[in-house]
């Protein structure tokens, strides 16, 4: 069962004394189960830090994070993290990369092979089971990263700018595919991005972080109904889309986009 | 060496010789040129009358093989190199890995490992002779000491630089320490270890040369000593050539093994 995520008055300071960097300041977020949340924020504001804390990889300086009723103190199989820069094992094939989590959980070889193959198919990588990451394009590599996270069947999926390193076209495709997967089988998703339009297209709800020490400066619902994956053009042309985009730009401290003048 | 991936800078001064045979021809041709140059000096008797001709050197080699047990001495030398190298591998790799994954162990061992590198071996050989004699054991000991440093340092470097991200991936799935060592650190290490082994074998050969020269009683060093006592330079040169041959071929063989085993490399993976 997908679980809720509660971030309860969390702060984070790296280092101590003169070198201390206060990154996150008293952040509280409550994400109900099966919600798809995007987090927007300027570079260096602590998005990765927050994601890794939710995954149990980094200790909190104050506060508490819960997945369902469990307080997170170390990584659990309930949450899976998709890393900002893929982090695939270069000496493992697609299949071996995807089954990593199950291998660590001690699932026997034939079962984990089968489940890994299923996920490889679902993310559209069939035929590349035996390829090494260096033989795959960036988009394909992140599919492997996605399949690796989903393969352990987590309740909660944490995605840290998963498409940040991809070109626009590949990114479009990946977004559509992600929605298609998610809209079939809803899980709780936290998705960090720099890309405002991406966040509006994907999320039920968008949170904006300020500059460090950051807190949440905006929290809005995205009204477009689901399934959305087939309706990108329609959604992006909706006037509410432009309004939300404008609002988010302002909250991120970006100037209004000026229409370039068309010279006839 | 591959010519396909040369940088533009190197390409300018690189003849297009994708063909392995062309490279061999070029290398052999240069060898012939060097031999001819040497012969010219020997023939002209410049700068000394006593430069032995190539023919004399070859004859000296034949004599040694037939009468003075050169092959046996070469065999002993190889034996010492491999045993010393093998022991250095056995100790050096695990030690390097432990230093790489634990700061405490690194700080504990680092000065001593570095000390082994800077020991003035020529100066301590007399002491080693007292402990190990003048036979095979001192040769093994010196080869071990020489090979040890590059092996331990490379293995350390690999373990220490294991990408943080990959370690985090394993951690995020709650992997045990043992799993992480076996499936993250060790595979990442392999190119580093092999590089260390390649350097290690080269240094083992250099250690052997040193010990042969200083402990000039038995083995190849003994042969050199005999020839040079008789002022027979062709003999000295012939043994030195044998040592040089070992020095070139062993690391080359190791390089072949390296190319065979490596199925991914750090550069291509973009670390
Ligand atoms: N291990 C660390 N030690 C000290 N400071 C750190 C550490 N990790 C991150 N920081 C600092 O914390 C801040 C937030 O880093 P973080 O990586 O979480 O930001 P981010 O929002 O993910 O940035 P980006 O958009 O570039 O991915 C940065 O200013 C960074 O310098
Ligand atoms: Mg980040």
Pick the atom of ligand 1 nearest to A209's CA.
Answer: 21
Pick the atom of ligand 1 nearest to A52's CA.
Answer: 18
Report whether pLDDT(B3) > 50.
no
Domain count, chain A: 1
Picking from A52, A104, A132, the nearest residue to B173 by CB comes out as A104
Residue A115 maps to a domain: yes
Higher pLDDT, B232 or B17: B232
- The verdict on a CB contact (< 8 Å) between A75 and B169 is no
Going from the Cα of A219 to the center of ligand 1, the distance in angstroms, rounded, reads: 22
pLDDT of residue A264: 46
The model's confidence at residue B2, banded by pLDDT at 50, 70 and 90, is: very low
CATH of the domain at A114: 3.40.50.300
Q: Give the 3-state secondary structure of chain B.
A: CCCCCCCHHHHHCCCCCCCHHHHHHHHHHHHHHHHHHHHHHHHHCCCCCCCCCHHHHHHHHHHHHHHCCHHHHHHHHHHHHHHHHHHHHHHHHHHHHHHHHCHHHHHHHHHHHHHHHHCCHHHHHHHHHHHHCCCHHHHHHHHHHHHHHHHHHHHHHHHHCCCHHHHHHHHHCCCCHHHHHHHHHHHHHHHHHHHHHHHHHHHHHHHHHHHHHHCCCCHHHHHHHHHHHCCCHHHHHHHHHHHHHHHHHHHHHHHHHHHHHCCCCHHHHCC
- The verdict on a CB contact (< 8 Å) between A104 and B168 is no
Picking from A57, A90, A152, the nearest residue to B171 by CB comes out as A57
Residue A146 maps to a domain: yes
Picking from B163, B169, B263, the nearest residue to A91 by CB comes out as B263
pLDDT of residue B271: 53
Residue A162 maps to a domain: yes
Average pLDDT estimate for A190-203:
95
Residue A258 maps to a domain: no
Higher pLDDT, A31 or A259: A31
Higher pLDDT, A199 or B263: A199
Min Cα separation B51/chain A (Å): 55
Report whether pLDDT(B22) > 90.
no
Test site for ligand 1: of A49, A191, A213, most ligand atoms within 8 A of the Cβ: A49
Residue A262 maps to a domain: no
- The verdict on a CB contact (< 8 Å) between B174 and A133 is no
Residue A7 maps to a domain: no
The model's confidence at residue B1, banded by pLDDT at 50, 70 and 90, is: very low
Architecture label for domain B51-261: Orthogonal Bundle (1.10)
The model's confidence at residue B255, banded by pLDDT at 50, 70 and 90, is: confident
- The verdict on a CB contact (< 8 Å) between B171 and A75 is yes
Q: What are the residue boundaries of the structural domains of chain B, listed by start?
A: 1-46, 51-261
| B residues 238-267 closer than 8 Å to A (CB) | 263-264
Q: Which of A42-51, B13-22, B28-37, B205-214 has the lowest mean pLDDT?
A: B13-22
Q: Which of A19-28, A178-187, A243-252, B213-222 has the lowest mean pLDDT?
A: B213-222
Report whether pLDDT(B267) > 70.
no
Residue A185 maps to a domain: yes
| Domain, as residue range, for A228 | 34-58+73-208+223-251
Residue A96 maps to a domain: yes
Whether chain A has a CB inside 8 Å of the CB on B184: the answer is: yes
List chain A residues with CB under 8 Å of B182.
none
Interface ipTM: 0.89
């Amino acid at each position: 069962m997908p679980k809720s995520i509660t971030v309860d008055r969390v702060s984070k300071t790296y280092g101590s004394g003169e070198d201390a960097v206060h990154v996150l300041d008293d952040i509280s977020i409550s994400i109900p189960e099966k919600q798809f949340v995007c987090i927007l924020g300027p570079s260096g504001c602590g998005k990765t830090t927050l994601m890794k804390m939710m995954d149990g990889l980094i200790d909190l300086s104050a506060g508490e994070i819960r997945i369902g009723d469990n307080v997170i103190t170390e990584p659990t199989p309930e949450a899976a993290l998709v890393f900002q820069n893929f982090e695939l094992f270069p000496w493992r094939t697609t299949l071996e990369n995807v089954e990593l989590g199950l291998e660590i959980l001690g699932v026997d070889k034939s079962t984990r092979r089968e489940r890994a193959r299923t996920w490889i198919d679902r993310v559209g990588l069939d035929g590349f089971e035996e390829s090494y990451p260096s033989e795959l394009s960036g988009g394909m590599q992140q599919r492997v990263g996605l399949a690796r996270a989903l393969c352990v069947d987590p309740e909660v999926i944490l995605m840290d700018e998963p498409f940040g390193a991809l070109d626009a076209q590949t990114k479009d495709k990946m977004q559509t595919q992600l929605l298609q997967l998610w809209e079939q089988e809803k899980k709780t998703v936290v998705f960090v991005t720099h890309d405002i339009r991406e966040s509006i297209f994907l999320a039920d709800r968008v949170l904006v972080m300020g500059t460090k020490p950051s807190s949440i400066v905006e929290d809005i619902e995205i009204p477009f109904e689901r399934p959305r994956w087939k309706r990108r053009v329609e959604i992006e042309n909706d006037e509410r889309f432009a309004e939300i985009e404008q609002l988010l730009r302002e909250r991120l401290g970006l100037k209004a986009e000026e229409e370039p003048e068309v010279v006839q | 060496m591959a010519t396909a991936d040369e940088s533009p800078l190197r390409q300018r001064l690189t003849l297009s010789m994708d063909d392995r045979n062309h490279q061999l021809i070029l290398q052999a041709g240069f060898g012939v040129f060097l031999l001819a140059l040497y012969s010219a000096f020997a023939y002209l008797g410049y700068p000394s009358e006593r430069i032995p001709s190539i023919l004399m050197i070859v004859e000296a080699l034949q004599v040694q093989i037939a009468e003075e047990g050169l092959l046996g001495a070469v065999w002993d030398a190889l034996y010492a190199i491999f045993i010393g190298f093998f022991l250095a591998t056995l100790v050096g790799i695990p030690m390097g890995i432990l230093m790489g994954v634990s700061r405490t162990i690194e700080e504990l061992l680092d000065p001593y490992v570095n000390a082994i590198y800077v020991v003035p071996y020529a100066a301590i050989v007399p002491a080693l002779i007292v402990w190990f004699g003048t036979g095979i054991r001192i040769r093994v000991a010196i080869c071990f000491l020489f090979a040890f440093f590059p092996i331990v340092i490379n293995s350390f470097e690999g373990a220490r630089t294991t990408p943080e991200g990959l370690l985090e991936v394993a951690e995020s799935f709650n992997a045990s320490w043992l799993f992480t060592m076996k499936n993250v650190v060790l595979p990442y290490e392999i190119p580093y270890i092999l590089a260390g082994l390649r350097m290690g074998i080269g240094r083992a050969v250099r250690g052997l040369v040193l010990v042969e020269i200083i402990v000039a009683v038995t083995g190849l060093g003994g042969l050199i000593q005999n020839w040079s006592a008789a002022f027979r330079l062709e003999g000295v040169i012939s043994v030195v050539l044998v040592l040089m041959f070992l020095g070139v071929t062993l690391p080359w063989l190791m390089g072949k093994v390296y190319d065979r085993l490596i199925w991914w490399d750090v550069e291509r993976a973009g670390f």
